[in-house]
Amino acid sequence: MEKDRESKLIMAKKPTYEELEQRVRELEKEAAEYKLVKGQLQAKDSAVASSISAIAIADPEGNLTYVNDSFLKLWGYDDEKEVLGKPAVSFWQMEDEAPQVVETLSDGGSWAGELVARRKDGSLFDVQVLASKVTDEAGKPCMMASFVDITERKRAEARLQESEERYRNILQSIQEGYFEVDLAGNLTFFNDSLCKISGYSQHELMGMNNREYTTPQTARKLYQVFNEIYRTGKPATLMVGEIIRKDGSTGVLEISASLMTDSSGQPIGFRGVVRDVTERRLAEEEKKKIEARLLQSEKMASIGQLAAGVAHEINNPTGFISSNLNTLADYNKDTWSLIAQYRALISGLKEAMATEEGRAQISEKLDHIAALEKEIDIDFISDDTPNLIKECKEGADRIKKIVIDLKDFAHPGEQKLKYADINRNLDSTLNMVWNELKYKAKITKEYGDLPDVECYPQQLNQVFMNLLVNAGQAIEKQGEIRIETRALDGKVEIRISDTGSGIPKENLSNIFDPFFTTKEVGKGTGLGLNVAYNIIEKHNGTIDVESELGKGTTFTIRIPIGRDA
């Protein structure tokens, strides 16, 4: 139409040749400029069109004048004709955000942010936008924006946030205290349970160093544990520490911890869980006290059962000591009467030797002394006196040993480990129960060469006594009790066997249960074997039983030589 109009003008005005020539030169110049601009635009359009990011250009009124293929693909359009000329804001979910963006661009600034976009099918997705005010080749102002689909990233962030929220909720719901500290030991995150355990509020606890709410010993231990975790990267095993609560009271904690790292694997701190075991520890201490009292009660009950036998064992040496002392008193009376005659003779010798009459008197005294020696049997007294004294000393030593063993057995004992000779402990216990056994059982001892064992000696004596008394009671008339010891594989093994009546098979699984007994009423507490079992378990040992009716029973005890064995 423009060419037709120009043709009509030329024909109407009939320009001169010079005018036509001038017009041709102008047209050639315009054609050259158009070709240049077109080439530049084609190169730019090719770069924009091939861009991964979606790109759009809008005029000052906000209507789209250009979009690349990535834009069409991202928004779900097939042809740019469906898009060009439409307001850019119609492709967003929130059109009320448009004025702010347009105003920013109109002022010559740039705008960056995230928007929710709407595809052709109406579905929504998230885009990151970078927009700025530019001018086109003709110098006219326009707005150009690039878009990057961040839907998956946003979904991942949402999932991460949801996961973190769920993780935080879980941490808040657990009864154990959860903590996160930086490399210096300052709290950076914790749950409500830690506040309850410590007595501090969230505000007070945030940023506190572990030295401020633990005892010095625990702080040092934590420092060592954190260093080890940092060095090896391995989680810490359970450790026990003490917390100082806000009110000044202390509590006992079980603590486990592990290393925290950033996305590149660099250590940034430590996380862990603490469990308040104060009440449990108090309960354990009380349980230990109750067990100790129970053990002591059982010991005293055993002593009560053995009292008659122990009294008999003491009465025997006491009886012959008393008898020997009476005999020695008679010996002493006769000896001193003889000594008096010796002294009378000696005092009269000097005066009597001067006369015949005196010599006769001396002869008479000598005959009297000889008769007295024969009467009191001085030779027998001389031979028997050392034996009587020896027997008295042995009897006194026997009583002393029984009393010492009884005292040691009855004493509650120290709750401390010490090294002891198991063979000697067995002999000491045998001394205590000997009267229960000597009339019906032959004792056979086969002691091995044992190292000293780290143990609670008095408690083991309780075990030995219970087993030996049971063995004696299992023998109705005459039998044998065999005691064997040996060292084997880092343990000491003690076997106590009897040839008694044996234990029914159906009772073997129950004999270590508390209050289980097959004895008559009044002849057992039902706690002896249970106490024995608990004592051996306390020594990290084992106690087993084998029995056959009519043939006897064997108890086998194995305890480590040392606590680390």
Task: Note whether 267 and 296 are within 8 A (CB).
Answer: no
How far apart CA 501 and CA 519 sit, in angstroms, is: 13
- Compute and round to an integer the Cα radius of gyration of the chain: 55
How far apart CA 3 and CA 174 sit, in angstroms, is: 86
Q: What angle do CA 213, 218, 221 make, to 5 degrees?
A: 135
Residue 429: Cβ-neighbour burial (10 angstroms; 0-12, 13-18, 19+): buried
Task: Note whether 102 and 60 are within 8 A (CB).
Answer: no
Sites in the chain below the pLDDT cut of 70: 1-52, 95-109, 136-138, 163-164, 166-173, 238, 290-316, 319-320, 322, 343, 345-359, 394, 398, 401-415, 513-528, 563-565
Instruction: Extract the tokens encoding 4.
Output: 């037709």
* pTM across the whole model: 0.39
Report helix, strand or coil for 340.
Answer: helix
Q: What angle do CA 337, 339, 342 make, to 5 degrees?
A: 115
Q: Where are the alpha helices (DSSP H) in 174-277?
A: 192-198, 202-205, 216-232
Strand-pair partners of 484: 446, 495
Task: Note whether 86 and 62 are within 8 A (CB).
Answer: no
Q: How much is the pLDDT for 90?
A: 84
Task: Note whether 79 and 120 are within 8 A (CB).
Answer: no
How far apart CA 470 and CA 473 sit, in angstroms, is: 5
Instruction: Give the number of residues written for the chain.
Output: 565
Amino acid in the structure at residue 71: F
Q: How much is the pLDDT for 44?
A: 44
Q: What is the pLDDT of residues 96-105, one digit of tens each?
A: 555 556 565 5
Q: How much is the pLDDT for 506?
A: 80
H helix or E strand, kind and range, residue 110 = strand 110-118
Amino acid in the structure at residue 235: P
304 closest CA partner among 511, 469, 83, 136 = 469
Instruction: Extract the tokens encoding 352.
Output: 């009597």
How far apart CA 467 and CA 484 sit, in angstroms, is: 13
H helix or E strand, kind and range, residue 187 = strand 187-190
Task: Note whether 206 and 189 are within 8 A (CB).
Answer: no
The values of phi and psi at residue 491, to 5°, are -130, 160
Instruction: Extract the tokens encoding 529.
Output: 């074997």
205 closest CA partner among 223, 216, 189, 182 = 189
DSSP 476-497: SSSEEEEEEEEEETTEEEEEEE
Task: Note whether 378 and 384 are within 8 A (CB).
Answer: no
Q: At what angle do helices 528-538 and 457-474 cross, to 10 degrees?
A: 140
Distances 110 to 56, 103, 105, 116, 122 between C-alpha atoms, Å:
15, 10, 6, 19, 28
362 closest CA partner among 379, 337, 336, 342 = 342
Q: How much is the pLDDT for 14?
A: 46
Rounded to a whole number of angstroms, the distance between the first and last alpha carbons of the chain is 110
438 closest CA partner among 409, 471, 395 = 471
Report helix, strand or coil for 438.
Answer: coil
Q: Taking the alpha carbons of 356, 357, 362, 365 in that order, is the dihedral positive or negative?
A: positive
